[in-house]
Amino acid sequence: MMRRKYNEEVFALGLPDYEGWRRRAAQAREAACAQVQRGAKPDFNSEIWRDVKAGLLEMFLGKCAYCEVRITDGFWGDVEHYRPKRKVEEYKHHPGYYWLAYDTRNLLPSCQLCNQGKGKLNHFPVEDDLPKTAPLDLQSERPLLLNPYDDSPFLTDFTFPFDSETEEPTGFVESETLRGKTSIRVYNLNRDELQNSRKDAQLNAIYKYRQKRQEGRHVEFLDSVPNDRAPFTAARLAAILAWMDLEAEKTAEARRRLTASVGK
């Protein structure tokens, strides 16, 4: 998971009539809120979400916001609600964040495996006793799920273990923080097929870095990785950095041995 700062201009690129879409979304939000106020369950207009998928994918460079797998035409993906719109699995009496159902800052592109099945679904654990049920309360809410619009897990919460014995990445993602651990579990970020694909991407990244270094173009390569459209950006960067650290350790050890032998 990499942070992708919300950018309304990029989002609007995927919508031919962005202002018209905003009006439709506002009307649908008002209708949902009115239904809840009457004691009814809100009816949502799924066409509004379908219309924004292209913009969301552009914002996240064509990748799942959670696992960073590439979403292609053959793997359609979902428009995911960071805060669930209908209910919250952990709190059975929570009505869901229905007022955020069409808020673009609450919408993310997700692969089906992160969003469905054993993935996120309607989960939204928080540090507080209960999640908030009104718009004005959200500023004091402390979600336990990382949000790629606001958080930088690659820098603060996630680590990608590197096996120093085999000198290879493992494809796993780990965390020592509560939010990181919760996010890995809820988004199911260590599922088998994802680990395998992530490891392959990490090995390929190391190979490319070594190749570019021989050509004297490794700085340009590293600069391009954070914003390229290849999958698993965070994992690839972590693998390159781990390999660089391992090489530095080898160099330091060789220098130490050479210095010791000369001094005898």
SS3 content of the chain, % helix, strand, coil (to 5): 50, 10, 40
| 179 and 109 inside one domain | no
| 10 and 132 inside one domain | yes
Span 126-155, pLDDT tens digits: 987 666 666 767 888 899 999 999 999 888
Domain count along the chain:
2
d(CA 235, CA 67): 10
The residue among 149, 178, 208 that closes a domain is 149
The residue among 127, 149, 171 that closes a domain is 149
Span 45-94, pLDDT tens digits: 999 998 888 889 989 999 999 999 999 765 678 899 999 999 999 988 88
For 186, other C-beta atoms within 10 Å of its C-beta total: 22
Span 181-192, pLDDT tens digits: 999 999 999 999
- Provide φ and ψ at 106, rounded to 5°: -105, 0
What DSSP element (H or E) covers 110? Answer: strand 107-110
d(CA 239, CA 182): 23
Q: Which domain holds residue 40?
A: 1-149
Tell me, what's the pLDDT at 260? 79
- Burial (0-12, 13-18, 19+ Cβ within 10 Å), 214: exposed
* DSSP string across 48-76: HHHHHHHHHHHHTTTB-TTT-PBP-TTS-
Residue 57 near residue 15, CB atoms below 8 Å: no
| 251 and 228 inside one domain | yes
User: Strands, E, within 178-247: which ranges?
Assistant: none
The residue among 149, 165, 187 that closes a domain is 149
| 105 and 196 inside one domain | no
> What mean pLDDT do residues 95-101 have?
93
Tell me, what's the pLDDT at 259? 82
| 110 and 15 inside one domain | yes
> What mean pLDDT do residues 20-28 have?
95
